Amino acid sequence: MFVPRKVKGEFLPEKTTKHGPEYRHSDVAEECLRQQETGTYMHKRAAIIETDYDKAEEALNAGREAYGTALDKFIDDEEKLEEVVKHAVSKIKNTTGKLGQSFLRLEKQANFNKLEQYVALLERANTAMSSLAKLEAAGTLKKISDALK
């Protein structure tokens, strides 16, 4: 069966095997020369390169946009965090100031020198009450009370 090798300017294989199309060496050389003379090869390669360039440019623009979006979100989050930290620091400073003022008031009102004396008196009173409780448990407290009357 006769298979035409060129149909309307197309370059067709001599035969097709399980490995793919096979071309005659002379046909390949002739087609290369024809494409080089007419500039067809360069136009095809330029179209492929232009397509690849457009795809790369789209990918680059998408990457720039994603980076810009991520950067804007990062800056917004950083600003929010800064506000939260400022608020927390302000609260800590206020609380620390109030606590310091409370200690000063407590110190003025308590008068720690007198407080030590009160604690010593309370300890002595506690010891005395313990002794009286022991005497009452032994039954001698009533006798002592009656003797003092």
Domain ranges of the chain: 111-149
What's the CA angle centered on 11, arms 5 and 13, to 5 degrees? 60
- Give the pLDDT of the chain (149 residues) as one tens digit per residue: 344 455 555 677 888 889 888 888 888 888 778 877 777 777 777 788 888 899 999 999 999 999 999 999 999 999 999 999 999 998 999 999 898 898 888 777 767 777 788 888 999 989 988 888 888 888 887 788 777 77
pLDDT the model gives residue 9: 58
Count of residues making up the chain: 149
pLDDT the model gives residue 67: 95
Are 22 and 30 in contact by the 8 Å Cβ rule? The answer is no
pLDDT the model gives residue 141: 76
pLDDT the model gives residue 8: 54
DSSP of 19-32: TEEE--HHHHHHHH
Nearest partner of 30 among 6, 47, 7, judged by Cα: 6
Residue 67 DSSP SS3: helix
H-state helical runs in 1-149: 25-38, 40-110, 112-138, 141-148
